[in-house]
Chains A and B, each alone.
Chain A
Amino acid sequence: MGEIVFKNICKSFGETKVIEDLNLTIRDGEFTVLVGASGCGKTTLLRMIAGIGPATSGELYIDGEEISDVPPGKRGIAMVFQNYAIYPTMTVKGNIEFGLKNRKIPKAERETLIAEVAETVGLTPYLKRKPSELSGGQRQRVALARAMVKKPKVFLLDEPLSNLDAKLRVSMRTELIELHHRLKTTFVYVTHDQTEAMSMADTIVLMDRGKIQQMASPMEIYNDPNNVFTAQFIGTPPMNIQKMKDGKHQLGYRAEKVQLSETKPDLLYARKAVVLTREMLGSETIYKLQLEEADDGSGKTAVMAKTPNLMFEVDSRVYIGVDRKDLYYFDEEGRRLRGDGISPSLEKMTAEGGES
């Protein structure tokens, strides 16, 4: 069990309001990733759940119980800090054992629990070592073991992989996913890395300036973004967004949906462009292209395309085209238009482009 509910949560640091009237339900047993740029309030939310940075106002429930007044140690949660925060003066075993000792768990039981968890994370040979004698990956495991041994209802992870090198980060990612499958408890994971969010999450909560932009599964958030912010935050390169001829509506399309050709394609969206740069990644190639004239007449504008086709040279003239079903429309405020919201006149504008 471990369902977390935020109700009308506000948080300010001094004069600055970081979070205003936020409502969010984190479902039991799911791997939920809070993602957003730094300063968006995601860590603030995590610290609220932990009880080490209480909300200014609002209610917070774990399994239906209001926990605002419950001290951090009694909430049935465990947290892995960004810099691990393992106790440098204690051995690995001491670190794992500290929480158990504080709960007055008998020694025999402690020993079994420690042995068990050390085996799971592969720390058994290092139990007598001090943290200073461990590598970054091993310290990370100590932090994990310390959290796991408490058998919490909720795991909180604050950018736990950001201090690891790229290779280790990818392998720890898989390990965390496996761990979640095994434990089947609620994981709340904070990161600013959308790739991490996409690869690990059951549910992504995308935040910006203290507000939830969208909460959905990785597939949904990628394919069906609610707004421009989400469309541009999720996916690399970010979605191309172009102002339309009326200067109000915005048109979006993913780089990987752009079709490049030498002759004008028979698609709803088709524009002339020049290749600015070409990045070959092996399986695919990323082009940066320049349109001579943006649809709203504001001059030159750049778009990204990602395609297996690598034959276009820098400076060559090409046509870019996007299929009708791969186009996204947004209103002036950046909100997504769907279904009936997309009027025939909008599509007409798309087809016309900058021509009048």
Chain B
Amino acid sequence: MKHKQFRIGKLVLPYVMILPAVALLAVFTFYPLFNMVYLSFFKYDMLTPKKFVGWDNYYQLFFVNIDFIAALKNTVFYTLGVIVFMISLALIFALWLQRSTWVNAIVQRFMFLPHICAMLTVAMVFQWLMDDRGLFNAVLSVFNLPALRWLNSSHTALLSILIVAIWKGVGYYALILLSSVKSIPPELLEAADLDDAGKLRTFFKITLPMLSPQLFFLLITITINSFKVFDAVRIMTGGGPGNSSDVLVFYIYRQAFNYSKYGLSAAAGTILLLILLVMTVIYFRILGKRVHYQ
């Protein structure tokens, strides 16, 4: 009898152990998630009772309120930009910093600093730097280049935010890549040297495949983080000028907290969720096979 009790205890114990974590996840992640999808089919302003409207919110998003499409386009553009520049810059920095010299050690620490600063402060500092009479334009004028209007022009507003995001993130991502660049056994590169592989070929055939798990990880996290960009936009441009730097999360935020259109906001959130899900699945399907795990 005692034996059996022990066995039941053994079966139950693991679930008891994960219960606190699951409970927190259920309350703060799963419930809001399902509630969001649920709400997206209602008209709801938190004051009057919610009213079922079916797909109307989605119809609104795609066919009536065209600023949603604009926000979506901007977000996609921003994400692509961040992925391309962030990953290539992080890779370049990682390769540059791989030799352990004291200069590199210092550079590495400085590069990591932006990561530990709050986006709020970073955004405010850049707002000041990117002012019409700010440091950026001062530098441009030194080289006799025309001043840019940075955040005040619909052509450069989103680009400016992209620059801030890359400046803030590149040190962190470079550090992740650096640790894996350093873990490539030097004999592999020597063997490639003996196999008469040129520098470029060694990079593309040995180094890059060896980094593929980290690059893949970067790709997914950067995609997700970029799709969720909010604070820099909120502070620096407020989505403007016009809606030239409006992004998905900021759109969701406005619909909910400025206009009290919680149903519409939930529908936009659901779209964001679907996009991220689909993107991640695509990544794993298409690229997952080419990733080499040790």
Contacts and interface: CB of A to CB of B under 8 A. Distances in A.
B212 interface: yes
Given A73-B196, A98-B197, A99-B196, A81 B210 contact: no
A77 B196 contact: no
B5 interface: no
A99 B195 contact: yes
Contacts of A86: 191
A150 B205 CA distance: 19
Contacts of A132: 294
A73 B194 contact: yes
B197 A88 contact: no
Contacts, number: 68
A283 interface: no
B109 interface: no
Contacts of A103: 196
B113 to A, nearest CB: 32
A85 B192 CA distance: 9
Contacts of B198: 102
Interface string A121-155: 00000000000100000000000001000100000
B231 interface: no
Interface in A32-67: 50-52
A344 interface: no
A72 interface: yes
Nearest to B291: A89
Given A89-B206, A89-B209, A89-B210, A81 B191 contact: yes
A72 B188 contact: no
A71 interface: yes
B190 A102 contact: no
Interface in B164-199: 185, 187-188, 190-198
A89 B292 contact: yes
A50 B194 contact: yes
Contacts of B196: 71-74, 99, 102-103
Nearest to B205: A98
Contact of B201 (A81, A88, A102): A102
A207 interface: no
A102 B197 contact: yes
Given A83-B185, A85-B187, A87-B188, A73 B193 contact: yes
A51 B192 CA distance: 12
Nearest to A78: B194
B145 to A, nearest CB: 43
Contact of A79 (B194, B201, B205, B209): B194
A88 B292 contact: yes
Interface residues of A, number: 25
Interface string A87-105: 1111000000011001100
Contacts of A77: 194
- Among the interface residues A51, A79, A89, which one has the most CB atoms of the partner chain B within 10 A? A89
Contact of A71 (B187, B188, B193, B212): B193
A88 B194 contact: no
Contacts of A51: 193-194
B188 A85 contact: yes
B187 to A, nearest CB: 4
A88 B294 contact: yes
B115 to A, nearest CB: 29
A190 B129 CA distance: 61
Given A98-B197, A99-B196, A103-B196, A87 B206 contact: yes
A83 B187 contact: yes
Contacts of A98: 192, 195, 197, 205
Given A98-B205, A132-B294, A87 B193 contact: no
B215 to A, nearest CB: 13
B199 to A, nearest CB: 11
Contacts of A90: 205, 209
Contacts of B209: 89-90
Contacts of A85: 185, 187-188, 190-191
B235 to A, nearest CB: 43
Interface in B238-294: 292, 294
Contacts of A72: 190, 193-194, 196
A89 B188 CA distance: 11
Interface in B197-246: 197-198, 201, 205-206, 209-210, 212
Contacts of B195: 73, 98-99, 102, 146, 150
B201 A52 contact: no
A158 to B, nearest CB: 9
A86 B185 CA distance: 10
A81 B193 CA distance: 13
Contacts of B193: 51-52, 71-73
A132 B292 CA distance: 11
B288 to A, nearest CB: 15
A329 B190 CA distance: 46
B191 A79 contact: yes
B197 to A, nearest CB: 5
Nearest to B194: A72
Contacts of B292: 88-89
B194 A52 contact: yes
A17 to B, nearest CB: 23
Given A73-B193, A146-B195, 6 more contacts: A79-B191, A89-B206, A89-B209, A90-B205, A98-B195, A102-B197
12 contacts: A51-B194, A73-B197, A79-B194, A81-B191, A85-B185, A88-B210, A88-B294, A89-B212, A98-B197, A99-B194, A146-B191, A150-B195
Interface of B: 185, 187-188, 190-198, 201, 205-206, 209-210, 212, 292, 294
* Chain A to chain B: the 3 pairs with minimum beta-carbon distance, closest first: A73-B196, A89-B209, A85-B187
Interface of A: 50-52, 71-74, 77-79, 81, 83, 85-90, 98-99, 102-103, 132, 146, 150
